[in-house]
Every structure is written in structure tokens, then in C-alpha cells.
Amino acid sequence: MTGSVNDPVLEVKGLSTSFFTDDGEVKAVRDVSFDLAAGETLGIVGESGCGKSVTALSILGLVARPGRVVAGEILFKGRDLLSIDREELRQIRGRDIAMIFQDPLSSLNPVHRIGAQIEEAMRAHDKIASREVRPRGLDLLRQVHVPDAARRVRDYPHQFSGGMRQRVMIAMGLSNRPEILIADEPTTALDVTVQAQILQLLRDLNRDLGTSIILITHNLGVVAGLCKRVIVMYAGEIVEEGSTEQIFDAPQHPYTWALLRSLPRVDADRHERLRSIEGLPPDLIAPPPGCKFNPRCPFRLERCFREDPELEPVGDGHVAACWVTMKRAHAEMGAGSLVDTGPGAASGVRPPIAPEAPDPSGADGQDVESETQDRG
């Protein structure tokens, strides 16, 4: 599907993860499939709550109750992480697949020394000989550019700054020389200059050690700086996948297109306003029928309300799940010069009137509902 020459180290097939709450089943991730090749850098982007973090947590079996992986396969070198026993999964966590998290203060244990927290990651596995654990811990801190590492291994997390804590997290993640590093919003809690340093660090690791990286972020700029390939998620599903160039230069899903338009640009006109995407992501307990993006899409067609689009090839190694695609939107709906990006603005398509509300006077939903109740 993606034109990668290497054998994938990780294959996610049809992954679905749900949270079983009192209000109903929240389908956080639905039928997500992707591959990760050895040494590849893959970005997963989307708004908050689109399921990107849950996808990452599902890979390592770290989804907390009431969440549960309900379907799919996660093949790491051919072994399905969802069906192996707990002890086997434990051995893979941190040793073969490591993960670093968004908020490095809350992700480090406040009552243990930095050095001890890095060392225990190595001691939990037998990959690093026990006499090498201590010197390697120190080496790792130097590798991630923590100044005065020899003294600072004895410090506690609260004595570190935000950027330094994230370096500690990365050092911890790398301690067992994992094949895959999953970075969940690694730069979100940091200021911009520190962000750049952390990204450089990840880039070096990928280049020097050949570690595959899955970078999860809502920040498209971060993805552009690090990843070769990008997956765009919306409402728990993959809506588009392609190389970074394809996604940034010729996005085919209206959501990706809108996401890119909402980025602030230095080369934009001074008076140009930032364009946000109107509306909110759908309720994942009862998502809308058809395409999940239809309530917010300026290019929607009647078909988008009835049928859920599948991922279809739109270029070499580039897939998108859309009945319209931006190629057509540009050609037929003048997407390039669109000012009003409200729902249905470009196509003029309005939501179909629900069959149980046959009121032709155009009264709004609430009135229809109360009338229905009156009749009942």
C-alpha cells in the first residue's frame, strides 16, 4: 500500500479500541491499519480526541480501563501483540518498543531519582548486562545533552526543567536500544526552542541508530520536520495516508486540506485571518452516518451522508477516504479561492431531512421533536 521497500517491523491490522462508559461504547479507534518499516519515521496527526494516542497505547497494551481493544491484530515481527501472554508483552515493552509521553513531569515518578528510573528500565530486561547499566544510564543522559549528567542522575524530576525532563524520558525510552520508539506528543508541553532541540534529537536517533519512530502529534509543523510518511486521523479513523510531500503539497481529504489551511504561515498576508475548521469532532458514541467529517465538510455530497468512504488510492502510495477528494473539489468547486469554509459551503449540499421528521415547513429540529412527542 505504501511503496516501502523494507519489510515492516510493525503491522497494525483492523485495530479497533473502545471505551465502555456509562453513556455507551465510545469507539475511539475504528478499523485502523498501517505498517511501519524498519528505520522509518511515521507521523500520526489529528485533533485532540481523534484516537491517535489511543492507537499508540493499544500497540503496547496500555489502554486503561474502561477501554479495551475490541478487534484487530498488531504484528511485531510477525507476533501478534494482542494475543501473546502478559509476560511476553511485558518483555517487548520498553525493550523492543519504547514509548515516551506528552507531559514529562507527570510521566516521571516524583519520588525516585532520575538515574534510578533510567536504570530500572534496563534492569527490567536482560538486553543490557547488569554491570553496564549504571555507566550506560550516564551515557544516555549525555547523549540527550543533559548537562552535568554525572551529578544530575542523583536529582529528582522536580529539580529538572520541562525540556530536561523530556530528554530524560527519551533517554529512558532509548535505554534498551528499542527497534521502535513511539513518541506521543513529545514536544507539546515544551517551548518552541526546546521543541526544536528535542526534534533534532529524535532525528539524530533515527539516523544514527536506525530506530523506527512513530510520532504522534496535532502539530503539522513537527511532522513536516521529522517524518517521511504521515497518517491523518479523524474521529477514530484514518482518513488519509501518504508521504509527507503528498500530504503537505496535495492533500486529498478535505479534513487534511482544512487542517493545513488552519496553520499560521510566515509568508501569508499580514491581514489574512487564520482559518479554523468550523464545528467540533463528532460524538464517538453515536457518530453521524456516512462520512464522519460530513457535518463540517465544505465539499460534501449527498452520498457523504449515506455511505462511509473507504481508503482509496489517490496517488503513488497515497490513499484517502473521501467521495469527493480535493482534486475534484479544486476542479469543480473552486476550493483554491474558497473564502467561506462552512459546512456544505462549496457544494451547497445540506443535510437530508430525517425521515421521522416529515415537517415541510422547515421548522428546526427541536420543534419537530416536540411535535413528534405530541403526536406520540
Partner 1 sequence: MTRGTLIYIAQRLAIIVLTLLVVSFVVFVVVHALPGNAFISQRVHGRSLQLLLHEYGLDQPVLIQYWNFLKGAIHGDLGVSLYIRGEQVTPLVLRELSVSCELGGAALIVTIGVGMTFGVLAAIRQNTWVDYLLTSLAVVGYTVPSFVIAGLGIMIFANFLGSVTGGAIAYSPVWTGTYGTIGELWLPALSIGLYTSGQITRITRASMLEVIQQDYIRTARAKGLREWVVTLRHALRNALVPVISILGTTVVGILVGVLVIENIFGIPGLGKEFVESILQHDYNVTVGVFTIFALLIGLSNLAVDLIYTVVDPRIRY
Interacting residues with partner 1 (CB under 8 A): 57, 60, 62, 64, 86, 90-95, 98-99, 101, 103, 106-112, 120-121, 124-125, 156, 158, 169, 172
Cell numbers for 108, please give them. Answer: 516521571
Q: Which residues pair with 98 in a beta bridge?
A: 181
CB of 322 to partner 1, least distance (A): 35
Taking the least distance from each CB to partner 1, the nearer of 130 and 276 is 130
In sequence order, which residues have a C-beta less than 8 Å from that of residue 336 and are 6 or more positions away?
Answer: 330
Residue whose CB is less far from partner 1, 60 or 231: 60
Q: How far is the CB of 90 from partner 1 (least distance, A)?
A: 5
CA distance 112 to 291: 48
Minimum CB–partner distance for residue 170 and partner 1 (Å) = 12
- Name which of 142 and 158 has its Cβ closer to partner 1: 158
The residues that bridge with 6 in the sheet, in sequence order, are none
Beta carbon of residue 282, minimum distance to partner 1 (angstroms, whole number)? 27
| Shortest distance in whole angstroms from residue 156 CB to partner 1 | 5
Q: How far is the CB of 165 from partner 1 (least distance, A)?
A: 11
Phi, psi dihedral angles at 26 (to 5 degrees): -90, 110
Q: Which three cell numbers stand for residue 242?
A: 501518504
Nearest approach, Cβ of 169 to partner 1 (angstroms)? 8
103 CB-near residues (< 8 Å, 6+ apart): 188, 189
Taking the C-alpha atoms of residue 342 and residue 7, their distance in angstroms, rounded to an integer, is 43
Q: How far is the CB of 112 from partner 1 (least distance, A)?
A: 8
Closest CA relative to residue 57, chosen from 100, 10, 11: 100
Q: Are 137 and 155 contacting, i.e. CB atoms less than 8 angstroms apart?
A: no
Sequence-distant contacts of 345-350: CB under 8 A, at least 24 apart = 345/298, 346/298, 346/299, 347/298, 347/299, 347/300, 347/301, 349/300, 349/301, 349/302, 349/304
Instruction: Rank residues 170 and 297 by Cβ distance to partner 1 and give the closer one.
Output: 170
Instruction: Tell me how far apart the alpha carbons of residues 312 and 268 are, in angstroms, rounded to a whole number.
Output: 32
Residues with Cβ < 8 Å from 342, sequence gap 6 or more?
Answer: 278, 298
Which residue, 12 or 335, is less far from partner 1 as judged by CB?
Answer: 12
> Three-state secondary structure along 144-213?
CCCCCHHHHCCCCHHHCCHHHHHHHHHHHHHCCCCCEEEEECCCCCCCHHHHHHHHHHHHHHHHHHCCEE
Which three three-digit cell numbers place residue 85? 501472554
Q: Which is nearer to partner 1, 178 or 295 (CB)?
A: 178
CB of 90 or CB of 145, closer to partner 1: 90
Judged by CB, which is closer to partner 1: 43, or 94?
94
Q: How far is the CB of 129 from partner 1 (least distance, A)?
A: 17
Residue with smaller CB distance to partner 1, 5 or 111? 111
CB of residue 175 vs partner 1: minimum separation in angstroms? 8
Instruction: Return the number of the residue (57 or 232) whose C-beta is nearest partner 1.
Output: 57
